[in-house]
Each structure stands twice: as C-alpha cells, then as structure tokens.
Chain A
Amino acid sequence: MDTSARGSLGGEPPQRARVLSARGMELGVAVGLLLLSLVVVADSIRIGRGWGADGPEAGFYPFYVALLLGAAALSILVREWRSRSEQSFVGASELRRVLWVLLPSMAYVGALSFVGIYLASALFLVGFMRMQGKYGWSRALPIGLGVPLALFFLFELAFGLPLPKGPLESWLGY
C-alpha cells in the first residue's frame, strides 16, 4: 500500500533518545537486498541461467530479476551513503513499545506448536492484557478464555478446520 501515508502522519519527534538512525536502517536494508540478489544470482548460475534444449533454463528468469534487484539496491545504497540525513528511524520509547508487542508475539508463535494454538492464545491474551493493559483478572480471563473457545467452536466444530492442538486437547479427547 502507500508508504507516504504513515510517514506524514506521525511527524518525526525532535531527536530525543534516538536508537537507530533512518540512514543506518536504509543502508542495512539495501545491503540486505544486495546480498539476497547475489545469492539468487549464484543459485541461478548453479541451476543454469542460459538456454537449454527445451527453452530457457530454470535459472534464466530469476537471474535477470535478481540483477534488477541488485541494481535497485545498489542505487538506494549509493543515494543513502551520500545523504547527510540525521533523521531517526525509531526512538527509544517507540522501540520499547514495539518490542513489548513483538517479543510476546514471538513467544506466542514459538509456544503454539508445542501446547496448541488454543492454550497459547489464552495465555497470550491474558498475559498481554494483564501486563500491558493492567487489567484485573475479571476483565482478562473472560476474553482470554472466551476467544480461544469461540475459535474452537468456529474452526474445529462448525467449519471442520483443525488448528494445532497440544497435550491439553488430547487429554480432553480431541
């Protein structure tokens, strides 16, 4: 979607507690894209980037696409290298807020293949509401238990789409 949309919204705050500079991030992403393009080029050469007996080989098309990606990344890299922008990518307090959502989400995704998506979701929802929203058990528990139950009825029973389950569900006979 559109990218200018978000940027114009917040308006960069004055540079307090800057953690990452926008320029550093730009350079990092451009280098990442450049490396990716090199990997694809190498792999395309490995599987054949030329003309086989039956037309273009498997690496023909990715090879040229990757060259284009590399060229674009290089142009971004050069442009950012020259720029003297002092803008911040993310400030300390913003980064903290993002990590407060991202880290629990990673734990949630890590846990759900072991304990099943229902239990993991319940723990995630209750934990998030307790820690982040400072809600009491009376608010956190109904939502934390109600949503996984609703998901269970909707997916497992109504639509017959099984979601990942863990020991708790097998103990209950599912």
Chain B
Amino acid sequence: MENLLALLHGFSVVLTPQNLVLMTIGILLGVLIGVLPGLGGANGVAILLPLTFSMSPTSAIILLSCIYWGALFGGAITSILFNIPGEPWSVATTFDGYPLAQKGRAAQALTAAFSSSFVGALAATLMLTFLAPLVAGFAVKFGPPEYFAVQLLVFSSFVGMGQGNVAKTIASTTLGLVLAAVGLDSVSGQLRLTFGSTELLRGFDFLVAVIGLFGIGEILLSVEEGLHFKGIHAQIRWRAVIETWTELPKYWRTSLRSLLVGCWMGITPGGATPASFLSYGLAKRFSKHGSRFGSGELEGIIAPETAAHAAGTSALLPMLALGIPGSPTAAVLLGGLLLWGLQPGPLLFVEQKDFVWGLIASIYLGNVAGLLLVLTTVPWWARVLRIPFSIIAPLIIVFCAVGAYAVHNSTTDIALMLIFGVLGYVLKKLRYPLAPLVLALVLGDMAEASFRQSMLLSQGSLSIFFSNPLVGGLVTLALAMLAWPAFSTLKSTLRRQAPTPQLSAP
C-alpha cells in the first residue's frame, strides 16, 4: 500500500508538461538509436549523458531511461523488416520475425514484437515497484562483506550464465577490473599503473569505454559486413494490430515463461541478450509448433521480445536498490546518478523519493507511450534505415566523438574512444563478451573498496565472507555460478564416454 502511494506521488512528479515532453523526446531518440547500427542503448545513453548535466536529476533520468525503452523497442523494427538486429538482444527476434515479414505479415510480426516488449516491461516494472523497496530496505543493513558478495555474484553470473568460452568471459572481466585499477588508489593515495603519465592519472572512464566498445566497434563491424539494407516495406494498420492482439493471449504460456526468464536474468546480471536467446530456445523446446520455429512463428517473436524487455527493465532493480547495475545500460544510468550528485544505493529510496518514484512512474508511462509511438511511426523508422551508410557512419562517429569529449572535456578521451573501438571490434569478432568488461570497469573500484574494507574488518581472514547466512549464501551462490561451466563440461564428457557412441559436434 505504501508503495502504491509512493508510486502515485511518482506519477505526480512525472506528469508535468516538461517531463512529458522529455519522455516523448527520449522515446523517439531511443527508437532512432535502436534502429541505427552502431548506436545502442548503452552508448546512446552515454553520448547524451553530458546534455543532462544542467537538468534536475529527475528530468534527466526520465529522459535517459526513456531513451533506453525506445532503444529496446527500436531493435525489433530492424530485426523484422531488415533482418538486421539493431541491438544484440533483438538477434533472436530475426529468427522468426524476418521470415514472417517476408510472408507479407510484417505488421503482425511488428505488433507481436512491440506488444510482447510492452508486456515484458510492464511485468518487470510491477516487480520493480514492489520488490525494489523491499530489497533496498534490506540492503540498508548491508556491510562491506555483503556488498562484495553481491559484486562477486555479478561477475560470476557472467561466467555461469554466459554462453561463450569461460576463459574469455574471465579474461574480459579481469581486463575490466585491471583497467578500473589504473590511476590514483583512493585508499593509500598511491599511483597504480600510470607509469608516470598524467593522462592515466584519472584512470579509464567507463563512459568513454562504452562509447568506443559499443559505438565505434559496432560501426566497424557493420562496415565490414558491407551493409546493404534490403528492407521490407511495412505499414501497420489498426486492423492487423487488433487481429494480432486477439491472437496473442493464446500464447500466454510462452509469455509467462519468457517473463520469468527475463526478470531472473535481468536481476542477476545475465542481461537482455542471453535472456532473449534462452527464452527463444525454451519456447522452441516447449511449443507445440517447435519444429516450425525459424519459418515465421508468432511465438518465436513473443518469446525473445518479452524476455529481452523484462530483463532490460529488471536490470534497474539492483541498480536502484543496491547501486549495482545489472546491464551495461543500467551501468551508464548509474554513472549518470553520480554525475548528477546522487549517491546510488539503498538510501536512494529514503532520501530521493521524488527521483526513485518519478523514475518508476516514468517506466510505466514511457512504455505505454512507447508502444503507441512505435506502432504509429514504423514506416518512418524504416525510411531512416534506407539512408545510405556513407552518410550514417560518419555522423555516428562524430556523435560518438562529441559524447566522449563531453564526459570530461578531454580530447585524449576521444583518442581513447577510438582505441576502445578497435579493441571492441577485435574482441567481438573473437567472441569475447563485452558486457562483463564494461560492468567490471564500473564495479571495479567499488568491489575493491568493499573487499579491502571487509579484510580490514576481519583482520585479513576470508572467513568474514561466511560470517552470517546472508553473506555466506551470496558467496556460495557466486561460487556455484563459477563452478557451473566446469560442472556441465564434466557432465558432457561423462556422457561422451558412455558406451553408445553419439554424434556430437565438438
């Protein structure tokens, strides 16, 4: 009940003309960012972050989070009409979305995608409304060991739930942690890894890294593929929308399963992308029409879109309640909090009620507005993608440069951005996951501080991480996540050694 009152208050914060305008701008910009190759949720928000320095934190977070919702919606448009995922989390949407569009049912595919995204976001927001204050209330009592345990859990989730090579996930995470350690050590005041360079004194800003890794890196990848967009024309008529909406409830089982997958993977930082793949895989396995997946099944759109949006939204829960982001975009928003002078963490719910509940209310409104806006403006976005790449690519590079500069007013950062761009291109081609690198860069200093404080408390004994059931449970969970890949390899080798020879691809 208290939450509902707080939420109502949040709506009263959001429903000012200025904030509503910002919300609409945010969503439209977000869809644009989602549609354009090379710009995504994380780097799009990072580039626009400096523009919010002069705004009130509440208006700023409304603008930026709406860009995020818009980007989540926008990714589906390019996946379905062009077979090009505008965002990594909409890759799974191409599997059935594009075939459906080829059959002339683009409107149905788009409606299903947008509506499922909406349902996913709405459910995750409801969860956020009721669960986040609880978690925050609980987390107020957290000490350094508990925080370190949660941070450890973040990193080990990438190992346990990522689909890629474990060694590469660990390398990517530790690379981020090492880069985070560069610069002035805040405890001892010593210089680390600066090698006498004053430029390295500040360390690496993760916003610059995000713009480079995801922005420039993505542009280079897109160029390499020699993008020629061959899109399918689409116009959404309301009849098709209504038709699709009456069909959607049939797939409630898939929706519900995808919601659970999405919310779970969003809170424990698996992220929207693995959530969408996992949910697609599960839907394929459990659906009656599983064998028809890939040839244009509506269910094959519902599953990844619901999960991606649910995960994207619930990634805000740990960000708000604990100050620990669950996804790169949430990390960028967290970076925003610091820049606007707010201290992220559980006390936000006590000290910054307007901000927190304004944000949560704006998620509800933003997704309703987003659904209506994308449904009505699809042809327009499809036209954006027909702008030749030789115009879009230099524009995006200019925007990235401006964004990277504005973070600290430093031209060195622009050069760093370019270096991170090349690094992102190479690492992504070699299938190193980039999300752990970014989160490690953000959480590195925090994780180190909480580790050192814990060690001080315990006089150097690691037993402090098992000193109470809460911290012990979290650490055990984290260790289990780390051990999970080893466990599953063991299982599959045992199976391979079984007497009946099986055809298994290495």
Contacts and interface: CB of A to CB of B under 8 A. Distances in A.
B469 interface: no
B226 A94 contact: yes
Contacts of B398: 108, 121, 124-125, 147, 151
A135 B185 CA distance: 51
Contacts of A44: 192
Given A89-B429, A102-B220, A69 B174 contact: yes
A132 B390 contact: yes
B390 A128 contact: yes
Contacts of B434: 1, 3
A22 B452 CA distance: 40
- Chain B facing A: main interface SS: helix
Given A51-B460, A124-B394, A29 B414 contact: no
Contacts of B50: 161
A164 B393 CA distance: 22
Given A58-B188, A61-B181, A162 B409 contact: yes
Contact of B225 (A4, A9, A69, A105): A9
Contact of B168 (A55, A76, A124): A76
A138 B499 CA distance: 73
A112 B401 contact: yes
A155 B190 CA distance: 37
A7 B425 CA distance: 12
A72 interface: yes
Nearest to B410: A164
A5 B455 CA distance: 40
Interface string B89-111: 10100000000000000000000
Contacts, number: 218
A143 interface: yes
Contacts of B220: 98, 101-102
Interface residues of A, number: 80
Interface in B408-455: 409, 411, 414-415, 418, 422, 425-435, 448, 451-452, 455
Given A98-B223, A109-B414, A161-B406, A129 B181 contact: no
Contacts of A135: 390-391
B405 A76 contact: no
B154 to A, nearest CB: 15
Given A101-B393, A108-B397, A117 B429 contact: no
A130 B415 CA distance: 24
Given A62-B181, A133-B391, A3 B418 contact: no
Contacts of B339: none
Interface of A: 1-10, 22, 25-26, 29, 33, 36-37, 39-40, 43-44, 47, 51-52, 54-62, 65-66, 68-69, 71-73, 75-76, 79, 89-90, 93-95, 97-98, 100-102, 104-106, 108-109, 112-113, 117, 121, 124-125, 128-129, 132-133, 135, 143, 147, 151, 154-155, 159-164
B175 A101 contact: no
B219 A101 contact: yes
A71 B169 CA distance: 12
Nearest to B188: A58
B171 A6 contact: no
A69 B167 contact: no
Given A69-B178, A159-B54, A61 B167 contact: no
A51 B452 CA distance: 11
A10 B225 CA distance: 7
Interface centre among A51, A54, A58, A95 (most CB of B within 10 A): A58
Contacts of A128: 390, 393-394
Nearest to A101: B223
